[in-house]
Chains A and B, each alone.
Chain A
Amino acid sequence: DVKVTQSSRYLVKRTGEKVFLECVQDMDHENMFWYRQDPGLGLRLIYFSYDVKMKEKGDIPEGYSVSREKKERFSLILESASTNQTSMYLCASSFVGSSQHFGDGTRLSIL
């Protein structure tokens, strides 16, 4: 069974901090994705990666960066956290042309 693991289920940080959210998948998937989910706005794509060291901006990349140094790991970085980045963050992975599998999500609060 596919396993996508996000490093934290809940996280509380302060404004201005640099925040790292980690995601690891165990299925050798080429594609990995970071979304955020907000009430009334649904799931929005922040960044995705289709190979090691390759990344593409999604719909809302401002204020975020990503890193994919190894195939199984995709990190989301909030360079200087702000309160409007309080949200649920979801990581997913997939083979090309196949179904996405999601982690359990990280509820991030920026105080």
Chain B
Amino acid sequence: GIQVEQSPPDLILQEGANSTLRCNFSDSVNNLQWFHQNPWGQLINLFYIPSGTKQNGRLSATTVATERYSLLYISSSQTTDSGVYFCAVSGTYKYIFGTGTRLKVLA
């Protein structure tokens, strides 16, 4: 099956810093999503991005499907950005999740 690797596993930032999170996947996919899991356990949709680039405020994402990776950019980080960021991919119905990047933003 498809393997998904996320890096780095842990990241600590000072408020206002920028960061890049990476998701590598081992096979071609039709669906790719980025999620943020907040400290209360809720999974929040960030991007549905099987290819191309999207932006939403301070967040943006790029997927290069031919090279089997996706990047999530966080600019001007805030303490509310803390939590775990997951990448999830699928060929058809079945999504495979990476193990996540745990981000802590310090005030």
Contacts and interface: CB of A to CB of B under 8 A. Distances in A.
A31 B99 CA distance: 23
Interface in B36-94: 40-43, 45, 48, 86, 88, 93-94
The listed residue with most B CB atoms (<10 A of its CB), out of A43, A56, A90, is A43
A97 B30 contact: yes
Interface string A34-75: 000100001111001010000010100000000000000000
Contacts, number: 48
Given A50-B93, A56-B93, A102 B42 contact: yes
B31 interface: yes
Interface residues of B, number: 19
A33 B43 CA distance: 14
15 contacts: A33-B95, A42-B97, A43-B88, A45-B95, A56-B94, A88-B41, A92-B43, A97-B31, A98-B48, A99-B45, A99-B48, A101-B45, A104-B40, A104-B41, A107-B41
Given A42-B98, A56-B93, 18 more contacts: A31-B93, A37-B41, A42-B97, A42-B100, A48-B93, A56-B94, A58-B94, A88-B41, A90-B43, A98-B48, A99-B31, A99-B33, A99-B48, A100-B33, A100-B45, A102-B35, A102-B43, A105-B41
